[in-house]
Chains A and B, each alone.
Chain A
Amino acid sequence: MSRREGSLEDPQADSSISPLPHLESKIQQTHSLARLLTKYAEQLLQEYVQHQGDPFGLPGFSPPRLPVADLSAPAPGHAGLPVPERLRLDEAALAALPPLLDVVRRRQAELNPRALRLLRRLEDAARQARALGAAVEAVLAALGAETRGPRPEPNAIAAATVTAGVFPAKVLGLRVCGLYREWVSRTEADLGQLAPGGPA
């Protein structure tokens, strides 16, 4: 992710109006970042299914929703939680995604070594998730809300290697890319609740 993407400015801001308060500015910037990354996450998902072959890209394809260690999809009741709690869950998910995306990238480097754009998108996604997670953490700190604090390193990566079939690896990659898209989109929606002009 370029620095330009991480420091967005509102192109419609009128210079004659006094600068936004620091918190509102931070929220707005993070919201804009989340919106941009939602678009990138969608592109990543499209690129991913293209390289796995059918049926991965076919409408109605419904592989088993394999559980992923340290991460699950946003719960159905997520939207009903208070905004700070939602943002805490967003931040935790964004922190769990980078190592998973790295695993997927390494596996795809073996399965699709010539899919350079896919590999680059997976690498970018890991960086983008870290950046967005850090920005959400900063918003929570500015709100005076508690963050989750230091969390243990995911031990899934440090676990003993397990031989896995190619098809399950493809399905897992699809699951991780899908989770990335869900959580980035969820973060955008949750920040939209706080951004100026959004619902209180």
Chain B
Amino acid sequence: MPAGRPGPAAQSARRPPPLLPLLLLCVLGAPQAGSGADTAVISPQDPTLLIGSSLQATCSVHGDPPGATAEGLYWTLNGHRLPPELSRMLNASTLALALANLNGSRQQSGDNLVCHARDGSILAGSCLYVGLPPEKPFNISCWSKNMKDLTCRWTPGARGETFLHTNYSLKYKLRWYGQDNTCEEYHTVGPHSCHIPKDLALFTPYEIWVEATNRLGSARSDVLTLDILDVVTTDPPPEVHVSRVGGLEDQLSVRWVSPPALKDFLFQAKYQIRYRVEDSVDWKVVDDVSNQTSCRLAGLKPGTVYFVQVRCNPFGIYGSKKAGIWSEWSHPTAASTPRSERPGPGGGACEPRGGEPSSGPVRRELKQFLGWLKKHAYCSNLSFRLYDQWRAWMQKSHKTRNQDEGILSSGRRGAARGKGGPGGWAGRETRAPPGGRRPRALHPQP
């Protein structure tokens, strides 16, 4: 509701309303005497005003029926009767209204300002459009799923609500030549988005921008320049499977299939994995998956359910140097690590399967040690597989000891027992990791 003060001779409509080609009153028959149709006129008709501005309006009675005067007339705005002190009679047939500090329109079809006769009947109406001009749209982002179409979305101007219907138009053109084109399929991925389905060129930059227009003005975004090949994305990797790694309590194996669209475009892909504990909202991200379609998560908590997702980024399309756009995450897949009495550590990196080198610090050092051993100690049987077997054996041994003795062991007996321990390690005392954690870094012996 506007402030209820009679204002000085204030500005009326800031700008006359745009002339719209209407096909309307022609469907109305001739007004009949006594019908109440348009027996008065409100001026201005359908003004457009800035929020906070003032309005002077008049309701002039036609004199039908004869002798009709402005005596007893009153105003309502959106169904609410306006205070009488806002009105005054200019003359016998005209009632004036002064509104100050107008609020934004309540509905996009305009606020209903109505002039009533003494008996409450409606004599005339006018719709007020009170709002703000649009601000510059920004944050335009675009992507192409198959290198043939383009979808873009943007953020409307900083203030967002203009209280007026604001039309957004996405425009695009080839950078070096060509005419402006207008996107036609709006709201495809949200209210401020548009989809260009065809007729796009590759290996040549496009200029893309958004124009916002309403009754109070227009604004244009900055221009985004891009090549379709640089904004390619794919569907998430399908067929993501998560499974245990034998009896290893702190590892899970993740496998997936590369998105089918990759086969057609001769480009590589890199992947990211994220995982979280079932009752947590914190995801951990594994970044260094490269172009593998499998990964082993290590350092997990035993006996815990994990949710895992994978996403893909195509790059190197037709020789492009730029990375593509990350796909959406795949649907979550869940699996649980085997149960253990000792809690394991959280966090981890992507571990190798079956003896492949790893980027984890402990395993990296272990790899160096194994390499040194092979070179200097002729232990040709040594490998990560043996190491994993040793760890699984250690965990079983701890369980057995706990059942026998009812206490946790520091693992001193470990492989030195020689019972199923890895070959080449027998007889050497080793310290099993306390609390079932990853083995400590092993220092090479001269």
Contact = CB atoms under 8 A, between A and B. Distances in A.
Interface string B2-26: 0000000000000000011111111
A67 interface: yes
- Say what secondary structure dominates the interface of chain B: loop
A149 interface: no
Contact of B122 (A64, A163, A165): A64
B106 A53 contact: yes
Interface stretch (A39-47, A54-62, A85-93): A54-62
Contacts of A54: 78-80, 112
B125 interface: yes
A129 B108 CA distance: 29
A187 to B, nearest CB: 22
A117 to B, nearest CB: 15
Given A51-B107, A165-B125, A167-B126, A69 B27 contact: yes
Contacts of A151: none
Nearest to A116: B187
- Say what secondary structure dominates the interface of chain A: loop
A160 B108 contact: no
A124 to B, nearest CB: 20
A56 B112 contact: yes
A145 interface: no
Interface stretch (B33-41, B201-209, B287-295, B415-423): B33-41
Q: How large is the interface on A (under 10, 10 to 19, 20 to 34, 35 or more residues)?
A: 35 or more
Nearest to B124: A167
A157 to B, nearest CB: 7
A56 B120 CA distance: 14
Contacts of B28: 66-69, 168, 172
Contact of A165 (B29, B79, B127, B165): B127
Contacts of A160: 26
B109 A166 contact: yes
A170 B45 CA distance: 14
Given A67-B31, A167-B127, A168-B38, A162 B25 contact: yes
A65 B25 CA distance: 14
A13 interface: no
B193 to A, nearest CB: 15
B35 A66 contact: yes
A66 B38 CA distance: 9
Contact of A53 (B35, B45, B78, B121): B78
13 contacts: A53-B112, A54-B112, A66-B29, A66-B31, A67-B28, A67-B31, A69-B28, A103-B23, A161-B23, A162-B23, A163-B22, A166-B45, A168-B28
Given A65-B35, A165-B45, 15 more contacts: A52-B112, A54-B79, A64-B37, A67-B28, A67-B30, A67-B37, A103-B24, A114-B108, A157-B26, A161-B21, A161-B22, A161-B23, A165-B126, A168-B125, A170-B112
The 7 A-B residue pairs whose C-beta atoms are closest, nearest first, are A167-B125, A54-B79, A55-B79, A67-B29, A166-B127, A159-B26, A164-B24
